[in-house]
Structure 1
C-alpha cells in the first residue's frame, strides 16, 4: 500500500504542508480566523460584495418563491427561471449572445475544454494557466501543447506547424502573478490560424473594463474576437458559481456535451437571483473600482519603497516575490502576529523557487487598512534577509 503518511511528512519537511483555517462570520476584511480577529489581504472578494446587504436581501427575498436547493440537474427539472434570468443577465453584461450558469469555475473549465476539444485535436495552453484549465485539457484527451507564459511568438510557431482542430486557452488575469494575458495578440493569432480562443476571465470580471465587464471589454474585444468567455461569480461578483458566455450555437453545443453541466445538480436559484442584483451593483457603482485602483497604486508605491520585489500587475492581485518556501511562510506568520492575514503561496501552485505572498486588495479595504499593511511590511522587512535555515 502507498505510504500516505510518509508523503505527508515529506511535504511538511519541504515547507509545502497546507492547513485549513476556520473562519467565523461573513467574508470581509476584518475576519475571525480560528477565533482570532485578523485584517485579511488574501480574499478574492475584490469589490467587497460578498457581504453586501442588497445582495443578501436579494437571496433571502427569493427563497420563499424558489426554495433553497436546485434539486435536479438542468436537463431534468432543475433549470429554474431564476437560472434563466441570470443567464440572460450574464449575456447582456458580457455583451455576448448567450450564457450558461455552471456550479463552479473549476467545473466550467473542465466542462468547456473537454467538450470543445477531443482526441485528434490540439489545445494550446499558457504555461501559467490555472489548475482547472490544466485538468480540463487532460480530461479532453486532446493533444496539449503548453506555450511559455504570454509568449505569442512561440505560440505562433506552434500554431503554424499544427493541423486539425486547434483551441487556444488562457487565463485573462493570471491568479498568482496578477498580470493580464496578451489578449489582442492571441485573438489575432487565432484568426490567422483558424483556432478557437477560450479566455477564463475569473479575476477580471467585475474589476476591469467599462462597468466591470472584464479584461476583454477593457481591450475592446468582442464575441467575434474571443468566442468563448468563462468567468466565476465567487470572486468580484461576491456570490457563487460560474458562467460561460458566447455564441448561441456554442452554448447549445455545451448543453449537449459539457459533462460538468449535464451531470450535476443545478445551483440554488436564489443564488442566481442574488447574482443578478450583484451585477446591477457592479454596473452602477464605479466608485468601488476607482477606490480599488487607488489602493493598488498606493500599495505598489509603498511596498516598492520598502524594497519588496513586486510583480508587474495593475490588478488587485499583488504578489510579493520571496523565493524559498520557508521564508515565505515565515513572512506570512510574522504578519499574522501583527494582526494581518496574507497567504504564502508555494509550489505546485507556483513554480519551484518562486514562493511568494499573494496580497489581494478589495474595495472594502480602507486607506487606513492599507497603511496598516505597509507598516507591518516595514517591520517585517529584515526577516527576508535571514538565511532560510533561521526561519524554519
Structure 2
C-alpha cells in the first residue's frame, strides 16, 4: 500500500503539481484571501481581546455538536443577528464554508432530482453532490444559454448552484439573469458568496436585493473578515431541514463561542470602517492600470493572469517570491490542464510601490 501511495505521489511530483505545506514567510502578501486586512488588523484584534478579557469562557471548547452540547446562547443570538442583518428569515452557522456546502448538497437534492452547477463552482459543492443520490449536470461557466438549455431538460425538483464571485477566475456571475432563469423554470438557486462578502458589503445577493429570490445563500468568514466559520441564509424550513438531515452539520463538533462572537464583532467593524472596501477598490484599480493582460473582472480582488507554460509559471512565481512578493500558481486539478494561471489577490494593505513592483516584474519575465 505504501508503494502504491508513493507511486501516485511520484507521478504528481513529476508532473509538477505536487502539493506541500509551507510556512508563510514575511514577503508581501498577494496571495491570501485577507482582502480587507482584518486578519492582521490590530484595532480589530484589540476589540476581540477586550471581549475575551470580559468573558474568558468564550475560548472554552464547545464540547460537542450543535445538537448535543455545542449550541449556546451566543450561537443563537448570532444566528438571529445574521438573519436580521441580511434580511432573511433564518441563518444557520457552520464551522466552515466547506462543511456548509457539504451539508447543503448532500442532504437537499434527492434521487430523481437534479443539481445544475456552474462548471467552475467550488470543489466543496462537487464533493457535496458526490454524497447525494441526485443527478448532477454542469453548465458552461456563466453561460446563460447553456444553463437554460439544461433547465428545459430537467424534470421534477432542480437546484442551481453558482458563486457570485469565482475564486479562480475572479469574475462575477450574472446574478440577476440567473435568478430570472431559475424563477422561470421553478428551480431553487443556491449562491456561494465566499469571495464577495465584505468586499461588496454583505454580498451581492444582499446588494442586489435578491434575498427573496434565492433559495439559500452561503456566507463565509475566513476571507474578507479574516476570521472563521460560515452561515447559510435561508427560510426557517430550510434551516430546520439542514439541522435534521445535514450529516456534516449534525456530526461536526461546534466551534467555540469566540468564533461566533468574533463574527458578530467583524460585521460591526466592517460597518464602522467603510474605508476598508474603498481602499481595496483603489488598489484593485491601480493594479489594473498597470496594463497586464488580466482575465478577471475589473472590480474583483482576485486577478488571474494566464500562463499556460507550466515551467514559465513556476519560474515567475519563484522570481516574485525572491523579490519578496507572494503570489499563487494554480495548476490542475484546481483548474483544467492548459488553463494554468498566476492568481493575484489584492488587499487594503498593499502599497502602490508593491503593486508597481509586482506588475513590472511580471512584465519583465513574461516579455509583455
TMscore range, shorter length: over 0.9
Match 1:232 to one of 220, 239, 243:
220
Are 1:328 and 2:313 counterparts?
Answer: yes
Q: Which runs of 5+ in 2 are unaligned?
A: none
1:94-105 residue pairs with structure 2 within 5 A? 94-105=86-97
- Which sits farther off after the overlay, 330-339 or 361-370? 361-370
Which of 239, 247, 266 is 2:254 aligned to?
Answer: 266
Residue segments in structure 1 that go unaligned for 5+ positions in a row:
24-32, 385-392
SS in 2 for 1:206: coil
Q: Residue deviations 1:227-282, cap 9 Å, x none?
A: 20001110001110111011112112111111111111111111110111111111
The residue matched to 1:74 in structure 2 has which SS?
A: coil
Whole-angstrom distance in 2 between the partners of 1:225 and 1:325: 42
RMSD of Structure 2 on Structure 1 (CA): 1.6
Matched, 1:110 2:82: no
Secondary structure in 2 aligned to 1:243?
Answer: strand
Matches within 5 A, 1:353-364: 353-364=338-349
Cα deviation digits, residues 294-347 of structure 1 (max 9, x gap): 11111112042xxx4433442100011111322211110111111111110011
Q: CA deviation at 1:370?
A: 1.8
Distance 1:64 1:371, change over 3 A: same
- Match in the other structure for 2:207: 218
Q: Deviations 1:59-79 (Å, cap 9, x if unpaired)?
A: 432351334212111111111
Three-state SS of the structure 1 residue aligned to 2:88 is: coil
Using the alignment, how far apart are the partners of 1:378 and 1:264 within structure 2? Answer: 47
**What is the aligned partner in structure 2 of residue 29 from structure 1?**
none
Q: TM-score, structure 1 length as denominator?
A: 0.89
Could you tell me which residue of structure 1 aligns to residue 269 of structure 2? 281
- 2:14 matched residue in structure 1: 13
Query: 1-side partners of 2:45 and 2:62: how far apart?
Result: 18
In 2, are the aligned partners of 1:55 and 1:275 still within 8 Å (CA)? no
Give the deviation of 1:54 after TM superposition: 4.2
Distance 1:115 1:57 in 2: 40
1:183-227 alpha-carbon deviations (Å, 9 max, x no partner): 11111111111111100110001111xxx1111123332x22112
> Aligned pair 1:65/2:57, yes or no?
yes
Q: Are 2:330 and 1:345 equivalent residues in the alignment?
A: yes
**Helix, strand or coil: the match of 2:244?**
helix
Tell me the distance in 1 between the aligned counterparts of 2:225 and 2:330: 24
CA–CA distance in structure 2, aligned partners of residues 158 and 310 of structure 1: 27
Deviations 1:66-117 (A, max 9, x none): 3421211111111112212221222223221211110111100010111211
Q: How many residues align?
A: 364
Task: Map 1:298-309; keep pairs closer than 5 Å.
Answer: 298-304=286-292, 308-309=293-294
- Relative distance call for 1:55 and 1:70 in structure 2 (3 A) is farther
Instruction: Give distance in 2, aligned partners of 1:59 and 1:265.
Output: 23
CA distance in 2, matches of 1:272, 1:52: 18
Residue aligned with 1:78, SS: coil
2:307 partner SS = strand
Q: Secondary structure at the match of 2:91?
A: strand
Corresponding position of 1:142: 134
Contact between 1:231 and 1:244, CA under 8 Å: does it hold in 2?
yes
C-alpha separation in 2, matches of 1:148 and 1:95: 31
Q: Compute the displacement of 1:56 (Å).
A: 2.6
